Structure 1
Amino acid sequence: MQRILLKLSGEALAGPRKTGFDEETVRKVALQVKALAEDGMQIGIVIGGGNFWRGRTSENIDRTKADQIGMLATVMNCIYVSEIFRSVGLETSILTPFECGSFTKLFSKDRAIRYFAQGQVVFFAGGTGHPYFSTDTGVVLRAIEVEADVILLAKSIDGVYDDDPNENPAAKKYDEVTLDELIARNLQVVDMTASILARDNKVPMWVFGLNEENSIVNALKGSFRGTKVLV
């Protein structure tokens, strides 16, 4: 694989803190990404905002405004994680679908591809730039646009299950599942919009636990222990 898109869970990056950032966790991610970049891999990153804002956290806030808060949470996450990546020697850029002053640059496919060619890790912040679309949909959209070979979904759980493993200890974990099965069984590893978009554009997704040792590197080095969602 030449180009991957890595989706990081905001909650997973918060580590045991649950909110905000856990620098040790983020640094471990940075070192794994550096190892892949040094092997010539082109890497894009999308980060959720759940460590600051989870969906409609307040029912008293208009949905559009709530989603805008979530988009800004992802921008904060990308700025922070980008700086940790830089501290280990990586070159990075942050692209958003809306203007953020001097904090980021405006997304375009040409700009992203140019940064990839320069060896930079490219952060795609701000989701799609529109309300009612999650970062799940955002990562699939960006993967399609930049022609990524696979989406790696690094989550707080270690794969796709037939039920919530936090509530049902007997939940069954899948080693492989197709996008059609994911949609038919409503397995909700990503939201339905993202699942259908991935299926229609033939984008595979590999789901695994971020907190497992070297899980990102292992996903691409033959030691994958999560779930492959196939086209």
Structure 2
Amino acid sequence: MSDDTAPADATYNRVMLKISGEALMGDQGYGLHPPTIARIAREVQSVHDMGVEICMVIGGGNVFRGLSGAAQGMERTTADYMGMLATVMNALAMQSALEELGVFTRVISAIRMDEVAEPYIRRRAVRHLEKKRVCIFAAGTGNPYFTTDTAATLRANEMACEAIFMGKNGVDGIYDKDPAEHDDAVRFDEITYDEVLTKRLRVMDASAIALARDNNLPLIVFPLDEPGGFKGILAGKGTYTKVV
């Protein structure tokens, strides 16, 4: 990292922001919704302006989800590669929105496509972060059978991020059951990775959870659709669940 201490007013110096592809489609049910992308970009900009170094991983479910394609009879490896390409599209859309706000951004792909994104080279990516550029890691891990949750956890470890921030729409943390279906659902302020696994809480896939747990990487689940929520949590405010 470029500095051993967190920026003023921020609890972390370098973080990974993981959001789903569905977060980019607004209420239209499919694809990309530019006003929603611009809103999320402003949230990222507000944290960037605090001096925090930001990595991002965006899912591809708003365009194509490999597992769903495989469930409909498509060969799994092919479906997963199509899902990876969807994440590149989302990363480019987010890059465009951030650079409209004056935030220098690099899209870094696990699959080589030099005309539209940089190849993943760890030391180069770290240098981008040290120069306060937002790094959006696309195409997952570059391998089928791994989710973008696992990709986010892998890159967060490789980049020496201090926490993973998982932005969710319509929910302000982790609950013991789906709060949309159960009025008596209870939110956790803090929970361990082992409890997430044993309770089978649908937060991240098991591979990602194990990778974060084994490397002592905290996960913070917060409401992405709450204005100022990302910045607020970095300033020690707001409602969220921390997994340790």
User: Over residues 179-231 of structure 1, what are the superposed CA-to-partner deviations in whole Å (9 max), with x where a residue is unaligned?
Assistant: 1211121112000010011100111000012111211111211222121112x
Tell me by how many angstroms 1:57 deviates: 2.4
**Number of equivalences:** 230
Q: Supply the AA of the counterpart residue of 1:203.
A: L
The CA distance in 2 between the partners of 1:4 and 1:122, in whole Å, is 11
Out of 186, 209, 224, the position equivalent to 1:195 is 209
Identity across aligned pairs (percent)? Answer: 39
1:39 equivalenced with 2:56 (yes/no)? no
Out of 155, 162, 169, the position equivalent to 2:176 is 162
- Structure 2: 5+ residue stretches without partners: 1-11
Out of 78, 85, 110, the position equivalent to 1:72 is 85
Large movers: runs of 4+ above 4 Å: none
- Structure 1: 5+ residue stretches without partners: none
Out of 14, 18, 21, the position equivalent to 1:7 is 18
Q: How does 1:103-114 map to 2 (within 5 A)?
A: 103-114=116-127
User: Hey, what does 1:24 align to over in structure 2?
Assistant: 35
Q: Supply the AA of the counterpart residue of 1:214.
A: G
User: Over residues 149-200 of structure 1, what are the superposed CA-to-partner deviations in whole Å (9 max), with x where a residue is unaligned?
Assistant: 0000001232111112233232221111111211121112000010011100
1:135 equivalenced with 2:148 (yes/no)? yes
Q: Supply the AA of the counterpart residue of 1:166.
A: A
Out of 121, 138, 150, the position equivalent to 1:125 is 138
User: Hey, what does 2:161 align to over in structure 1?
Assistant: 148
Q: Supply the AA of the counterpart residue of 1:39.
A: M
Tell me by how many angstroms 1:54 deviates: 2.8
CA RMSD of aligned residues (A): 1.2
Classify the secondary structure of the residue corresponding to 2:191.
strand
Superposition TM-score, scaled by structure 2 size = 0.90
Classify the secondary structure of the residue corresponding to 2:86.
helix
Q: Is the 8 A contact 2:66 2:81 kept in 1?
A: no
